[in-house]
Amino acid sequence: MISIWFFVGTLLLIYGILILGAGLYGLSHPPAVVLAELHAGIWWGLLLILLGTLYSVRFSPWRGR
């Protein structure tokens, strides 16, 4: 049986990669917003990748219990 948290981790990982990619694109093409220098897309992308990796590894179906 596959845990639902494995799928949640996979989605977080995919969204993190997409948001990080958009944040890195924003470095070369800065948006016209007030707090652009904080690079929120990069931070959120990295956080989602970290959480997605933790959930995917912890609840992976091939991991022996």
* In the predicted structure, residue 1 carries a pLDDT above the cut 70: yes
Cβ-proximal residues to 46 (8 Å cutoff; 6+ apart), any chain: 16, 20
pLDDT digits (tens, 9 = 90+) for 6-25: 999 999 999 999 999 999 99
**pLDDT bucket at 65, cuts 50 / 70 / 90:** low
Residue extents of the structural domains in the chain: 4-58
Q: What is the pTM of this model?
A: 0.89
Question: 17, 51 in Cβ contact below 8 A?
Answer: no
pLDDT digits (tens, 9 = 90+) for 36-51: 899 999 999 999 999 9
